[in-house]
Amino acid sequence: MIRFECDYLEGAHPKIMEALMSTNFEQHCGYSEDDICTEARALIKKAVQNENADVHFLVGGTQANLTVIASALRAHQGALCADTGHIAVHETGAVEATGHKAITLPSENGKINAKQIASYVDEHFGDASFEHMVQPGMVYISHPTEFGTLYTLKELTEISETCKQKGLYLFVDGARLGYGLMTPGTDVTLSDLARLTDVFYIGGTKVGALFGEAVVIMNPALKRDFRYLIKQKGGMLAKGRLLGVQFKTLFTDNLYFEISKHAIDLSEKIRNCLIEKNIPFLVPSPTNQLFPVIENKALEKLKEKYTFSTWAKVDDNHTAIRICTSWATKEENVDMLIRDLEAM
C-alpha cells in the first residue's frame, strides 16, 4: 500500500537521523539548555532575520498551540480563529481545557480576514453587556491553513495591523510552514512572519523531523516565563537536545526549504494531472495538500493501491479526499499515482 493520507507517515530526513546517531552518546544537560539547542536557536534567529526572537522547541502542534495560548491570555480571554481552525476542531478542546474559548469566525477555504476580526472586536466592545462575553485576546491563524491555502502578504499585513490596532496578539500556527513558504507564487517569507506576528511556530513534525515545532516569540510581553508554561503543560522534553539536533539540521544548508520544495514539486505534478482530467477540487489549495472530488467508483479502485484521507461526502457519487505529499514522498510513487489517475 502506498500512502498519501497525511504528511507524517515516515520517520525523519536521513540527515536528521545521521545527526541523532552521531550525537547519541554525547552527554548533554536536559531541558533544551544544551549547546546544540543554542546553536539551533541561533540558526532560526538568523533564518527569521531577527536577533530578538525567542526560540523554544516543543514536541508537537497541539502542545505548542495550548502552551502559547495559555501563556498569552488572561483568564477571561479567548482566541479568535477560523471555524475550521485546528484549535477549534481537532485538538479535543485542548485550548478550552486551559480555560480559554476558541471563538470561531466563518472562514473561506480555511482563511479569515482583517475585516472580520475588526468587526468582531468592535461588536464585542460595542455591546452593552460585553463583560458577559469572552473577550477576544488573540487571533490564531494557520499558514498554510488546514485546507492547504495560503494568506497573501497583503492579507497577513492587514490582519497584523488590525491586531495591533485592536490590542490582540497574532499567533500563526505553522505546522506546515515550510510547504507554505516554498509554494510558487507566495509572497510571504519567514522574516515577514517574524515581523508581522507576536508569536508563530515553524513546524518540524510534518517537514522532515521525527517530531518538533520551533515556537518563535517576537513580542517581549510573551517571552516572559514561557519556559514555566512549557514545563507545566508537559512539553519540556528531558532530552531537549533531540529537538536541538533536529532543528539545527533542518536549518543548516537550507535543508528545511529544500525538502519542503520537494513536496511542493510533487503535489504540483498531481494537481496538474487532476486538472487535466477535469477533476474538481473542494478547495483550491496551492500547497502540499490536495482536496480533489473523486467519483466513488474510481476511488474504490484507487484505494486498492493507495491510502488517502476521506474529507467529505460531496454527493451520493462523489467524495472529497485529501492527497498529501511530503518531504519523504517518492517521485516514483507519485508517477505511479498519476498513471493510475490518467487511466481512470
Q: Which residues from 59-118 bind its own copies, rule CB under 8 A?
A: 59-63, 66-67, 70-71, 74-76, 78, 89-94, 96-102
**Quick one: which of 152, 123, 154, 120 has its CA closest to 139?**
120
Cα separation values, 27 from 33, 37, 241, 249, Å: 12, 13, 10, 19
Nearer of residues 118 and 194 to its own copies, judged by Cβ: 118
Using a 10 angstrom Cβ sphere, with 0-12 exposed, 13-18 middle and 19 or more buried, the burial of residue 69 is buried
Confirm or reject binding of residue 15 to its own copies (CB under 8 A): no
Element (H, E) at 162: helix 153-166
- Binder to its own copies among 179, 211, 251, 311 (CB under 8 A)? 211
Q: Which amino acid is at 283?
A: V
- Binder to its own copies among 210, 299, 324, 337 (CB under 8 A)? 210
Stretch that binds its own copies, among 47-55, 109-117, 205-213, 297-305 (CB under 8 A): 205-213
Stretch that binds its own copies, among 6-14, 158-166, 278-286, 317-325 (CB under 8 A): 6-14
CA dist 134 and 239 (Å) reads 38
Confirm or reject binding of residue 301 to its own copies (CB under 8 A): no
For residues 119-148, which are near its own copies according to CB under 8 A? 128-129, 131-135
- Binder to its own copies among 15, 195, 223, 227 (CB under 8 A)? 227
Confirm or reject binding of residue 332 to its own copies (CB under 8 A): no
What cell numbers appear for 67 in the block?
A: 502552551
HEC letters along 99-110: CCCEEEECCECC
CA dist 158 and 329 (Å) reads 35
- Binder to its own copies among 14, 167, 220, 284 (CB under 8 A)? 14
Nearer of residues 51 and 225 to its own copies, judged by Cβ: 225
- Binder to its own copies among 236, 264, 293, 302 (CB under 8 A)? 236
Pair 318, 296: CB distance under 8 Å: yes
To its own copies, the closest distance from the beta carbon of 30 in angstroms equals 6
- Binder to its own copies among 145, 160, 183, 205 (CB under 8 A)? 205
**Quick one: which of 140, 77, 55 has its CA closest to 104?**
140
To its own copies, the closest distance from the beta carbon of 41 in angstroms equals 16
